[in-house]
């Protein structure tokens, strides 16, 4: 019984301890919960304060950046206005000094001004002077009579020089060694009046180099330039443009920072290099929207003074122009049958692969503008062709490019004839020769290839295609006969030894003569092609007979052997009537001479008899 009572008490004690422990645990849990809640509240308040501080700092930073940018713009504007004021001050000083010089050199008029003549009045007494004043004789003194004779010096009348009726002696002209100022004081180089400090400063200002005036004028024109169709100046438009990767920095601040970072005296070149930097970054980040604006600005700057500015911007502008041409040039090339991706397949370039925001034609026009401006500067021309890539030329001569792009590329290549190179320059001589042969081969292929337009556009007309082939013919004639001396004409020798250039020219002559017989609207263009290609093959064969192996060259192109004889026969016996109108007499003579060299006498007699019989039947 006692044991049972002890156990009961022990259990109650344990229950009490458990209850106390449970209460203590609950109290501690409550305290922990309160502490955690307070901690979370503190963390939230802290995070809220940090976010508020960050937003305030960002706002302050944005405001300070805007103020800095505005201050830079204002500084640039004030510098421009200061330059304009200096220019105006120089002009006014020059005008003032010119007026002063003209006033000093103006001859003095010694003739009296016209006046109304006064009526002569006869006077009863005369004093020996021809005027109206009568001098009174000196009176006698009261004490004694003065001696009769000349009056005293103190009482003698003095007449001013200007009042003398006798005119002044004729003034002799000044000697070559001196000048006279407005007061008649002679100035000589050795000792006379010296130039004042103001006059010397004016002369120094007038003798300032004209580069400053031209530079100031270029700066004013560039800052006032507006890119169509925008009405605001370019710098104002740049203040609202930015790269997606850096939205807080505007184009205008980048341009200003780039220009002010270097102290060059040529503002146009500095501005062009700043635009080229933006242009290059836009291409790297695939941000093509502002590229058309960049092209317009660069073209405008080059037109300010092409021959002086073009050599200075080659290294900065030519690479970005090529990369801009690649954007649409590479997709067109890969869609052509000659590319590895589409070998032998004929299809148009899909529109989804093209980006019409970047005009390859505009890029090629600027390249042609630059190379034209470097024609009188051999070092700049060599630098240009070292910057132009060989792959770029071959891609742009593909028949799937736009016709204007192909024509512009041919015009650019026509400017690439240097003493020992043609087109893009590479370090290896053997590789250089190989590249030049590929370029000639690509141009010769254009005489027969059919150009293809992009997907969704109208096919090229026969007139447009024939116009392209005329440009190719002119290009081949220009590079083949640019140097009259055959010993120095390396391009002519290269065409003469080319495996297929002459054969393709003969085949094109035949096809163009065939096209004339259908009397199309572009008939005159076909006749121009036949005349030009005949002159081309005749000149190559006659100038380089040792390099031309015509039979083997003709066999390299399918159908060229037969078409060669047919076209020469037709031209040799052409009378220039009706369907053959437009073929010149020189073309007939050259074809006749080439035909005599191509066949033996028996074949020639047979051809003559055949044409005689055909004419008799008619």
Q: How far apart are CA 235 and CA 239, in angstroms?
A: 6
The domain of 66 spans 32-96+200-208
Q: What local confidence, expressed as pLDDT, does residue 145 receive? A: 46
Mean pLDDT value of segment 61-77: 83
Q: 31-68: buried (b, 16+ CB within 10 Å) or exposed (e) per residue? A: eeeeeeeeeeeeeeeeeeeeeeeeeeeeeeeeeeeeee
In this predicted structure, what is the pLDDT of residue 132? 54
Question: Looking at the whole model, is its pTM more than 0.85?
Answer: no
- Whole-number pLDDT of residue 334: 92
Q: Taking 70 as the threshold, does the pLDDT of residue 246 lie above it?
A: yes
Cα dist from 268 to 203, 216, 523, whole Å: 28, 10, 47
In the block, which residue shows the tokens 């004889």? Answer: 565
134-138, 185-189, 196-200: range with lowest mean pLDDT? 185-189
Separation in Å, CA 502 to CA 131, 479, 593: 108, 14, 16
In the block, tokens 């000792």 appear at 191
- Specify the higher pLDDT residue, 12 or 325: 325
User: How much is the average pLDDT of 543-566?
Assistant: 89
Q: Are 301 and 370 in contact (CB under 8 A)?
A: no
Q: Stretch 403-419: mean pLDDT, rounded?
A: 94
Domain boundary among 148, 179, 208: 208
Number of domains in the chain: 2
Residue 218 has pLDDT above 90, yes or no: no
More confident residue, 301 or 340: 301
Question: Which of the given ranges, 13-22, 118-127, 495-504, has the highest pLDDT on average?
Answer: 495-504
24 part of a folded domain: no
Give Cβ neighbours of residue 535 (< 8 Å, ≥ 6 apart). Answer: 477, 586, 587, 590
Q: Are 357 and 296 in contact (CB under 8 A)?
A: no
Cβ partners under 8 Å of residue 181, min gap 6: 104, 187, 193
pLDDT score recorded for residue 188: 43
Distance CA 482, CA 539 (A): 12
Residue 280 lies in a domain: no
Higher pLDDT, 613 or 487: 487
Are 504 and 445 a contacting pair, CB within 8 Å? yes
Indicate the pLDDT class of residue 263, thresholds 50, 70 and 90. Answer: low
What the block records as the tokens of 491 is 């391009």
Tell me what pLDDT residue 187 has.
44
pLDDT at 466 over 90: yes
Residue 367 belongs to a domain: no
- Mean pLDDT, the chain, whole residue set: 82
Confirm whether 577 is domain-assigned: yes
Q: Looking at the predicted structure, is the pLDDT value of residue 110 above 60?
A: no
Place 189 in a pLDDT band, splitting at 50, 70 and 90. Answer: very low
pLDDT band of 78, cuts 50, 70, 90 = confident
Q: What's the pLDDT band for 88 if we cut at 50, 70, 90?
A: confident
Listed residues 159, 179, 208: the one ending a domain: 208
Domain C-terminal end among 157, 173, 208: 208
Categorize the per-residue pLDDT at 142 as very low, low, confident or very high, splitting at 50, 70 and 90. very low
Q: What mean pLDDT is predicted for residues 178-200? A: 47
- pLDDT tens for residues 192-217? 444 465 566 566 655 555 445 788 88
Q: What is the mean pLDDT of residues 36-40?
A: 85
pLDDT band at 576 (very low <50, low <70, confident <90, very high): low
User: In this predicted model, what pLDDT tens digit does every residue of 469-496 receive, in sequence order?
Assistant: 999 999 999 999 988 888 889 999 999 9
Confidence of residue 503 (pLDDT cuts 50, 70, 90): very high
Sign of CA dihedral 256, 261, 265, 268: negative
Residue 417, beta-bridge partner list: 422
Binned at pLDDT 50, 70 and 90, residue 116 comes out as low
Two tokens, residue 36: 């955690």
Per-residue model confidence (pLDDT) at position 154: 46
The runs of H, that is alpha helices, within 224-358 are 234-238, 251-260, 267-284, 291-304, 306-309, 314-334
Assess if residue 409 is contained within a domain: no
Check residue 330 and give its pLDDT: 94
Of the candidate ranges 205-209, 413-417, 461-465, the one whose mean pLDDT is the lowest: 205-209
Mean of the pLDDT values across residues 148-167?
48
Residue 423 within a domain: no
Domain presence at residue 444? no
Q: Using CB atoms within 10 A of its CB, is residue 500 exposed (0-12), middle (13-18) or buried (19+)?
A: middle
Q: Which of 16-30, 230-244, 306-320 has the highest mean pLDDT?
A: 306-320
Is residue 612, in this structure, part of any structural domain at all?
A: yes
């Amino acid at each position: 019984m006692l044991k049972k009572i002890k156990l009961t008490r022990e259990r109650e004690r344990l229950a009490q301890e458990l209850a106390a422990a449970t209460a203590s645990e609950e109290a501690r849990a409550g305290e922990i919960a309160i502490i955690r809640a307070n901690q979370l509240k503190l963390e939230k308040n802290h995070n809220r304060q940090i976010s508020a501080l960050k937003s305030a700092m960002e706002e302050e930073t944005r405001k300070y950046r805007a103020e800095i940018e505005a201050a830079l713009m204002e500084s640039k504007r004030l510098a421009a206005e200061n330059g304009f004021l200096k220019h105006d001050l120089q002009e006014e000083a020059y005008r003032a000094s010119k007026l002063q010089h003209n006033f000093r050199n103006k001859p003095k008029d010694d003739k009296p001004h016209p006046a109304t003549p006064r009526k002569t009045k006869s006077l009863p007494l005369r004093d020996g002077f021809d005027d109206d004043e009568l001098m009174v004789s000196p009176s006698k003194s009261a004490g004694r009579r003065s001696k009769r004779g000349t009056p005293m010096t103190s009482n003698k009348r003095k007449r001013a020089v200007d009042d003398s009726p006798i005119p002044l002696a004729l003034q002799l002209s000044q000697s070559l060694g001196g000048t006279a100022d407005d007061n008649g004081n002679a100035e000589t180089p050795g000792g006379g009046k010296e130039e004042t400090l103001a006059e010397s400063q004016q002369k120094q200002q007038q003798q300032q180099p004209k580069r400053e005036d031209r530079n100031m004028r270029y700066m004013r024109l560039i800052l006032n330039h507006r890119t169509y169709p925008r009405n605001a100046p370019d710098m104002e438009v740049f203040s609202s443009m930015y790269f997606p990767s850096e939205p807080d920095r505007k184009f205008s601040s980048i341009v200003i920072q780039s220009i002010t970072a270097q102290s060059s005296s040529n503002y146009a070149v500095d501005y062009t290099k700043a635009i080229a930097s933006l242009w290059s970054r836009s291409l790297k980040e695939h941000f093509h929207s502002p590229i058309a604006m960049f092209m317009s600005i660069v073209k405008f700057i080059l037109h300010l003074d092409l021959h002086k500015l073009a050599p200075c911007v080659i290294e900065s502008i030519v690479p970005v122009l090529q990369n801009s041409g690649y954007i649409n040039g590479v997709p067109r090339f890969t869609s052509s049958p000659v590319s590895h991706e589409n070998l032998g397949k004929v299809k148009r370039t899909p529109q989804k692969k093209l980006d019409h925001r970047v005009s390859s034609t505009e890029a090629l026009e600027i390249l042609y503008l630059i190379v034209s401006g470097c024609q009188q500067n051999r070092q700049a021309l060599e630098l240009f062709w070292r910057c132009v890539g060989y792959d770029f030329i071959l891609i742009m001569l593909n028949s799937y490019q736009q016709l204007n792009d192909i024509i512009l590329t041919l015009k650019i290549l026509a400017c690439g004839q240097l003493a020992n190179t043609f087109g893009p320059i590479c370090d290896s001589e053997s590789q250089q020769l190989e590249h030049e042969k590929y370029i000639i081969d690509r141009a010769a292929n254009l005489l027969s290839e059919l150009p293809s337009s992009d997907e969704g556009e109208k096919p090229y007309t026969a007139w447009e295609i024939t116009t392209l082939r005329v440009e190719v013919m002119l290009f081949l004639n220009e590079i083949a006969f640019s140097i009259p001396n055959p010993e120095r004409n390396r391009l002519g020798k290269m065409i003469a030894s080319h495996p297929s250039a002459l054969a393709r020219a003969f085949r094109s002559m035949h096809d163009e003569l065939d096209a004339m017989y259908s009397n199309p609207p572009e008939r005159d263009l076909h006749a121009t092609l036949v005349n030009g290609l005949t002159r081309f093959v005749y000149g190559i064969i006659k100038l380089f007979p040792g390099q031309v192996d015509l039979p083997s060259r003709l066999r390299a192109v399918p159908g060229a052997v037969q078409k060669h004889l047919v076209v020469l026969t037709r031209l040799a016996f052409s009378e220039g009537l009706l369907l053959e109108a437009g073929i010149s007499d020189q073309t007939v003579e050259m074809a006749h001479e080439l035909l005599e060299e191509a066949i033996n006498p028996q074949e020639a007699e047979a051809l003559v008899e055949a044409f005689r019989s055909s004419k008799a039947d008619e």
